[in-house]
Amino acid sequence: MKSILQRGWRPLSVLLFLLILWEMAGRILDIPVWLLPVPSQVWQEAIHGWMHYSGHIVSTIRLTLTGYAIGISVGLIVAIFLFRLPALQEAFYPLLILSQNIPIIVLAPLLVIWFGFGMLPKVIVIVLVCFFPVTIATLDGFRQTDKDLLHYMKMTGASNRQIFWKLQWPHALPSIFSGLKIAGTYSVMGAVISEWLGSGKGIGVYMTLASSSFKTDRVFVAIFLIMILSLTFFAIIALIEKWVLKWQRQGGNSLDG
């Protein structure tokens, strides 16, 4: 905790400086609230308008977790299949890259036409933005397996399954968690975009309603909520990563002993 505070005071200082600069510029230039509210006005709206957006937060979190869980599962399964079947990887890897060149905001209306206004198209949007970083990071982690250890296990007669689960998978965990953290931040963005498809609740709906009625302070509240959710999600995954890798090292040391 102490090291986190020691590292975190610099970015917090920069953020505080920017907020003060924003506040001063807005008041000196007398910018209208509907055009650009100052941070204090956004804060007041965040406090007094809690009842207006609290339900939207719960809906977005639920949608995010659902899409994220499915997205990372798909990403891990695809990565394992592509790694274990090199011919399959050669055929489908370029298609994975091409799939990321399709803007989600353009694909979203098509998903509504194909699957309607229910939960399914929204989850698909999140899955599409989550699975790719997990797949790529996992594949890179598998490729970085120590060659000497791999050769040693083959010499001892270990099967391909034993090599995968006892060597390649543990060595890939840091890369896998890197992909999970990237996907975690993307999942919140994907949830907000999917809520623009016609959802009844969610931060994306709250933002759309605020924008259409020129409630710019509420738009900024929604932006800050998205940032907070993304950072919280990232921090939770980082803590899980720290615990898993620490447990793995301790388990490896006890086995060595």
8 A C-beta contact, residue 190 and residue 140:
no
Give the side-chain half-sphere CA count within 13 A for 48: 8
CA-closest candidate to residue 119, choices 187, 174, 201: 201
Q: What is the pTM of this model?
A: 0.85
- Counted residue by residue, the chain has a size of 257
Per-residue pLDDT in tens (0 to 9) along the chain, 257 residues:
455 555 666 778 888 888 899 889 888 888 888 888 888 989 998 898 888 888 899 999 999 999 999 999 999 999 999 998 888 888 888 888 887 787 777 787 788 888 877 888 889 999 999 999 999 999 999 988 888 888 888 888 888 888 888 888 988 999 999 999 999 999 999 899 888 877 778 898 999 888 888 889 999 999 999 999 999 999 999 999 989 888 766 655 544 44
CA-closest candidate to residue 118, choices 201, 205, 198, 207: 198
The SS3 call for residue 83 is helix
- Other beta carbons within 10 angstroms of residue 8's beta carbon come to 10
Give the side-chain half-sphere CA count within 13 A for 255: 7
CA-closest candidate to residue 42, choices 223, 236, 248: 223
